[in-house]
Chains A and B, each alone.
Chain A
Amino acid sequence: MIPGSFDYHRPKTVDEAVALLGQYGEEARAIAGGHSLIPMMKLRLAAPEHLIDLGKIEALRGISRDGDTIVIGATTTQAELIASPVIASNLPILIETAMLIADPQIRYVGTVGGNVANGDPGNDMPALMQCLGADYVLKGASGERSVAARDFYEAAYFTALEDGELLTSIRIPLPPAGCGWAYEKLKRKVGDYATAAAAVMLKLHGGACSFASIALTNVGDTPLLAAEAAEALVGSSLDKSAIDAAVAAAEAITNPASDGRGPAEYRTRMAGVMLRRAIARAKNRAA
């Protein structure tokens, strides 16, 4: 549990950080809260020669509203997210999810940007960002680009983020007014990754579901947008057969690993159970 040696950089601006990332290429890693990277370094599964600490870059921090979009700076901590009135009034599902991540000590340090950018399928925010249709703003030497969360994840720890690029902010469109929401997570203990988890946003109109979005955490090597499952709900009264169809569609796209949380079959079923429970709670919350 002793990391290899590395050089430490602490830029004050995004441009400086991007320049350092460009300069050192794949030998460099950006570090924010460090809750994923530092354990990997201690296990010597990661051995970056240059650590670029984003902690002093004020521009990367904070939560704001930009028209119909909520903008979350990459190094905003989970604790700041939880305490944010902007998030509480516009995207309470983010708070419900963040409260299920690790423990208070980690949430004071762990960042939203780190959680989404690392590409760990166990992280909770990536599926939620897919469910909400968020975009990630990435900045590199050649400028800035935006990648949808739904297109960002390629495989475990492989993402659209290229060497030399930095995730600077997350842009989340405001969900339709009156949307019900829920994030259901089954875990073994505080601090554990999900055995399975499901994020649900849905809207009711005249007793029928007029909008639904569903994504799943940690039941594949990327977060999974369950588009067919959502389609199975839209137009229905969220009756048992529609929910059964959604659950079946969601389970069908899972491909979890067998691990200490349980064999693959169990984790697939738990994705279904979590989805069923999330739909029920979201339905109750829908206006």
Chain B
Amino acid sequence: MNDMTVPREEREAKLEGMGCKRKRVEDVRFTQGKGNYVDDIKLKDMVFGDFVRSPYPHARVKSIDTSAAEALPGVLAVLTAETLKTVNLAWMPTLAGDVQMVLADGKVLFQNQEVAFVIAEDRYIAADAVDLVEVEYEELPVLVDPFKAMEPDAPVLREDLEGKTEGAHGARKHHNHIFEWTVGDSEATDLAFSKAEVTVKELFSYHRCHPCPLETCACVASMDKIKGELTLWGTFQAPHVVRTVASLLSTIPEHKIRVISPDIGGGFGNKVGVYPGYVCSIVGSIVLGRPVKWVEDRIENLSATAFARDYHMTTELAATAEGKITGLRCHVLADHGGFDACADPSKWPAGFFNIITGSYDIPTAHVAVDGVYTNKAPGGVAYRCSFRVTEAVYAMERAIDVLARKLNMDPAELRLKNFIRPEQFPYPSALGWEYDSGDYETAMRKAMETVDYAGLRAEQAEKRAAFERGETRELMGIGVSFFTEIVGAGPTRNCDILGIGMFDSCEIRIHPTGAAIARMGTISQGQGHQTTYAQILATELGIPADMIDIEEGDTDTAPYGLGTYGSRSTPVAGAATAMAARKIKAKAQMIAAHMLEVHEDDLEWDVDGFRVKGLPEKTASMKEICWAAYNNVPPNMEPGLEAVSYYDPPNMTYPFGAYICVMDIDVDTGAHKVRRFYALDDCGTRINPMIIEGQVHGGLTEGYAIAMGQEIAYDDMGNVTTASLMDFFLPTAVETPFWETDWTVTPSPHHPIGAKGVGESPNVGSVPCFSNAVNDAFAHLGVTHIQMPHDNWRIWRECKRLGLTG
């Protein structure tokens, strides 16, 4: 049978390969409520854990009395730091080179810190028992403001670090100092500033916010004492890393640990780290010999589990009078909370913040980041962005707007003037990156034309005049942002997590009938991996996507990988997928040559099989080759059709985009309306345009939330005031603006299929765009910068300050 007589277009369509708007195969189960999340896991004899948490942000723990809780029928154990010390687990290492208390050891450093872990027969008894644990605290002075962290008389937070003048990333300058990280040429930058015709300087605070995935963090730990095997189900964005860490911490050999990430309801960086709930569940299961489930609630997730941002960036630009940027300088004060639990690659304490020079050809730059401790929850994760990239992009994109005002230039024009030009790629940035590819001007001009940027500016001028005449109470703002992301971490020469290089992997097995399974080192949290990886394979191998299963998340079956975050799945594991497929294709070509009795060089690929050059009617389809792989291989060739690839990317990828926002602000209430939001993304080769569009919609919605109100706020006493969805702004469909999406395609030259990753771009690019729109609305009144979040009352406060309203 030879099915290659069908017209080429029909065969291509049947594959549903790259470029196809293939419907998400995951949604068949998700839309029917048939997903399988951690909380759906029910095991025989399973018991439940719950935390006693500290009401105080900084206090000495004088005593913990667990006797009443332990006396409650159904309570099996109450773990405290003292119990954990017996297994050397009262503290655990963080991914950032710090250590973190699993349970309060002598003191607490943030409100809702884990103090004791109650394990009971059911979830209700556990909650009742939490109320029965009596903890005596002695309150200590609270440090909330990071700008006061390094004052001489600031409270000492980390008594365990007393006398330690060296941290994981160099010298510590103060008892609340974690690290100083610098990059760039300080002297050359100083020189650029001293020679500059124009300079601007502004403090841009990117407030503390939170990834807030719909599913909170959770795990089920099950220790089989007979086999000596631990199985751990959890909401892990990096299951293999969790396995390795669990082995190192517990001393259970790694081959005796199986980590399973089932369906995950969103991660956005929140599920990368290792949390006390996991450690306590594992210890509980080891102690009791029964499976222990722990599922945090929303308040716990928001108040204790991995915040994001909290970067305070004093940013300066130097430029010529014509608007050519000649230098950038930035000092960051980074608030890490009570422990440095950032989830960055080990050598990057401030992530890839040195992407701050952005999309612009800036010859010289210098960055210094000081990390400090405060009485807030630990975290500092990459909330839908590559490590600290969104902070960097925010600072740059606000700074260039501020410079435009000072130069009295249009902010879009100033960007066009400073873009890295297409012929400059690969472009070495002043702060050490090598940008792989880009065509920024084309993207910017397409965006400006599509929205009629000139027309919008004219409309804004008219509206400002009407405001002056008292005909309207609204001000119109136009926000422009142009971002370059750095994703796909990363090359093992400079990227690792706890010493493990940040490669990723794919293992493919082709069955005799031409169906296939591919197992990956990544794990989808809603990104649609099952759909898109199959599309890569469909195009690479000529096998219909519907015939390919994608499996992830089980460390017993999946090849070792570093997981999914930092937009790394497509750039790294997607590349591994293509590389493994190409190994298979090479073997398939040899089998085809054997089948057709020609030399393999006489064959050419045609969608879903090989044709003999010059004799196009002589074909071997992949379906036929797959069958032959199991019964008719060339002499001396092993049967079967399998391959594995561990892909170490030669470079990061650099997706980019041009976003434009039109916003109207009601000066009497401070309320805003996003009238238009246009997002052009260039993520290189587009695998599934529908999934890309969905990713962009989601990221823009998060970006909108962050810019316009989403905040983890603390009062002066250190109480977290936004720990529920009543006060933490998670927009509904009603608040969410309408999104217009667009694209250009600049393939990555070093990636096997030219793809760059897209999931995080919209969060990274949109936050400055919204913020620029707000600031632009007031720019004609001399405003240079209004701090985020731009919620109603803060915008009103600015209107009042400007005398626009009462």
Which residues of A are interface residues toward B (Cβ below 8 A)? 1-2, 4-5, 44, 103, 186, 188-192, 195, 259-263, 266, 269-270, 273
Tell whether, in the assembled complex, residue B726 and residue A195 are in contact, meaning their CB atoms are under 8 Å apart. Answer: no
Q: How far is the CB of A4 from chain B (nearest CB, A)?
A: 7
A260→B124 contact, CB < 8 A? no
In the complex, are the beta carbons of A1 and B299 less than 8 A apart? yes
Whole-angstrom distance between the Cβ of B72 and the nearest chain A Cβ: 12
Known: A1-B298, A260-B721. A188 touches B797 (CB 8 A): no
- Tell whether B224 is near chain A: CB-to-CB under 8 Å: no
Contact at A192–B726, with CB atoms within 8 Å?
yes
Q: Which A residues touch B127, using CB under 8 A?
A: 2, 4
B299 CB contacts on chain A under 8 angstroms: 1
Q: Is the CB of A2 within 8 A of B298?
A: no
Chain A neighbourhood of B348, CB < 8 A: none
Residues of B within 8 A of A188 (CB): 709, 729, 791-792
**Hey, which chain A residues are within 8 Å of B131, CB to CB?**
4, 44
Query: Would A186 and B713 be within 8 Å (CB), given that A2-B124, A266-B796 are in contact?
Result: no
Other than the known A1-B299, A4-B131, A188-B791, what 7 A-B pairs have Cβ atoms closer than 8 Å? Answer: A2-B123, A2-B127, A190-B734, A190-B735, A260-B713, A260-B722, A261-B792
Nearest chain B CB to A34 CB, angstrom units: 16
Say whether B732 faces chain A, with CB atoms less than 8 Å apart. yes
Which secondary structure dominates where chain B touches chain A?
loop
**A189, B128: Cβ atoms under 8 Å?**
no
Contact: A263 with B793, CB < 8 Å? yes
Q: Is the CB of A189 within 8 A of B298?
A: no
B806 interfacial by beta-carbon distance below 8 Å: yes
Cβ 8 A contact of B124, one of A5, A103, A266: A5
A195 to B732, CA, bound (A): 18
| Interchain residue pairs with CB less than 8 A apart (28) | A1-B297, A1-B298, A1-B299, A2-B50, A2-B124, A5-B128, A44-B131, A103-B732, A186-B669, A188-B729, A188-B792, A189-B729, A189-B734, A190-B734, A190-B735, A191-B726, A191-B732, A195-B792, A259-B721, A260-B721, A260-B722, A260-B727, A262-B792, A262-B796, A266-B793, A266-B797, A269-B796, A269-B806
Taken together as a complex, chains A and B put the C-alpha atoms of A195 and B726 apart, in Å, by: 13
Question: Contacts A1-B298, A5-B128 hold; do A261 and B735 have CB atoms under 8 A apart?
Answer: no
Inter-subunit contact B791/A189 (CB<8 Å): no
List the B residue with the shortest CB-CB distance to A272.
B806
Complex CA gap A266/B721 in Å reads: 18
Chain B, interface residues (CB within 8 Å), range:
20 to 34
Question: Which residue of chain B has the shortest Cβ distance to A2 in the bound complex?
Answer: B127
Chain A hits for B735, CB < 8 A: 189-190
**Residue picked from B713, B729, B793, most chain A C-beta under 10 Å:** B793
> Is B671's beta carbon under 8 Å from chain A?
yes
B202 at the interface (CB under 8 A from A): no
Q: Report the bound CA distance from A266 to B126 in whole Å.
A: 43
CB distance from A197 to the nearest CB of B (A): 12
Q: Is the interface of A mostly helix, strand, loop or mixed?
A: loop
CB-CB nearest in chain A for B666: A273
Q: Which of B645-692 contact A (CB under 8 A)?
A: 668-671
> Contact residues of B with A, CB < 8 Å?
50, 123-124, 126-128, 131, 297-299, 668-671, 709, 713, 721-722, 726-727, 729, 731-732, 734-735, 791-793, 796-797, 806
Closest CB in chain B relative to A223 CB, distance in Å: 20
* A1 CB contacts on chain B under 8 angstroms: 297-299
By beta carbon, the residue of chain B nearest A260 is B727
Chain B neighbourhood of A262, CB < 8 A: 791-793, 796
Q: From residue B140, how far is it (CB to closest CB) to chain A in Å? A: 26
Assuming the contacts A2-B127, A188-B791, A192-B726, asked whether A270 and B731 have C-beta atoms less than 8 A apart, the reply is: no
Chain B residue numbers with a CB within 8 Å of A190 are 732, 734-735
- Contacting pair B793 A273 (CB below 8 A): no
6 shortest A-B CB distances, which residue pairs?
Answer: A262-B793, A2-B127, A1-B297, A260-B727, A266-B793, A190-B734
Expressed in whole angstroms, the Cα–Cα distance for A278 and B512 within the complex equals 73
Contacts of B128 in A (CB 8 A): 4-5
**Which residue of chain B is the closest to A189 with respect to CB atoms?**
B735
Cβ contacts under 8 Å, B670 to chain A: 266
A residues near B721, Cβ cutoff 8 Å: 259-260
- A189 in contact with B796 given A5-B124, A273-B669 (CB within 8 Å): no
Q: For residue B805, which residue of chain A has the nearest CB? A: A269
**B110 CB → nearest A CB, Å:** 19
**A192 — which chain B residues lie within 8 A by C-beta?**
726
Q: Which residues of A contact B732 (CB under 8 A)?
A: 103, 189-191
Minimum CB–CB distance for A272 against chain B, Å? 8
List chain B residues, Cβ under 8 A from A186. 669, 671, 792
Q: How far is the CB of A86 from chain B (nearest CB, A)?
A: 28
B624 to chain A, nearest CB (A): 55
Q: Are A273 and B668 in contact (CB under 8 A)?
A: yes
Q: Which residue of B lies closest to A273 (CB)?
A: B668
B123, B126, B668, B713, most chain A CB atoms within 10 A: B668
Question: How far apart sit A261 and B726, CA to CA, in the bound complex (Å)?
Answer: 11
Closest B residue to A122 by CB, please name it: B726
A261 contacts B793, CB within 8 Å?
yes
Q: Which residues of A contact B796 (CB under 8 A)?
A: 262, 266, 269
Chain A nearest CB from B131 CB (Å) reads 7
CA distance A65 to B317 in the complex (A): 70
**Assembly CA distance A273 to B667 (angstroms):** 11
Q: Which chain B residue shows the least CB distance to A47?
A: B131
Q: How far is the CB of A250 from chain B (nearest CB, A)?
A: 14
B717 CB, min distance to chain A CBs, angstroms = 14
Give Cα A269–Cα B671 distance, bound, in whole angstroms: 13
Question: What's the Cα separation between A261 and B727 when bound, in Å?
Answer: 8
**How close is B703's CB to chain A, nearest CB, in angstroms?**
16
Nearest B residue to A261, CB-CB: B793
Contacts of B793 in A (CB 8 A): 195, 261-263, 266
B473 (CB) vs chain A CBs: closest residue: A273
Closest-CB distance, A2 to chain B (whole angstroms) = 4
| B734 partner residues in chain A, CB cutoff 8 A | 189-190
Find chain B residues with CB under 8 A from A103 CB. Answer: 732
Q: Cα distance A88–B727 when bound, in Å?
A: 33
Contacts of B668 in A (CB 8 A): 273
Distance between B344 CB and nearest chain A CB, rounded to angstroms: 30
Q: What is the minimal beta-carbon distance from A13 to any residue of chain B, in angstroms?
A: 31
Question: How many angstroms between the C-alpha atoms of A266 and B806 in the bound complex?
Answer: 10
Q: Which residue of B lies closest to A195 (CB)?
A: B792
B212 nearest CB across to chain A (Å): 14
Bound together, the chains give a CA A103 to CA B730 distance in angstroms of 14
- Chain B contacts for A266, CB-based, 8 A: 670, 793, 796-797
Which residues of A are found within 8 Å of B671, using beta-carbon distances? 186
Q: Which of B731, B732, B792 has the most CB of A within 10 A?
A: B792
Chain A nearest CB from B200 CB (Å) reads 30
CA distance A191 to B731 in the complex (A): 10
CB distance from A163 to the nearest CB of B (A): 25
Residues in chain A near residue B297, CB distance under 8 A: 1
Residues of B within 8 A of A260 (CB): 713, 721-722, 727
Tell me the bound Cα distance from A4 to B123 in angstroms: 11
Please report the C-alpha to C-alpha distance between residue A263 and residue B791 in the assembled complex, in whole angstroms.
12
User: In whole Å, how far is B179's beta carbon from the nearest beta carbon of chain A?
Assistant: 33
Residue of B nearest to A274 (CB): B669
A260 to B124, CA, bound (A): 31
Residues of B within 8 A of A191 (CB): 726, 732
- Inter-chain CA distance A2–B129, complex, in Å, is 11
Who on chain B is nearest to A44 by CB?
B131
Residue of B nearest to A269 (CB): B806
A259 to B727, alpha carbons, bound, how many Å?
Answer: 9
Report chain A residues within 8 Å CB of B126. Answer: 2
Q: Roughly how many angstroms separate A261 CA and B669 CA in the complex, as a whole number? A: 12
Name which residue of chain B comes closest to A192, CB basis: B726
Beta-carbon nearest neighbor of B124 in chain A: A2
Considering the chains assembled together, what is the distance between the CA atoms of A191 and B729 in angstroms? 11
Q: Complex formed: what's the CA distance from A261 to B731 in Å?
A: 15
Closest A residue to B728 by CB, please name it. A260
How many Å from the CB of A25 to the closest CB on chain B? Answer: 23
Bound CA–CA A12/B299 (angstroms): 37
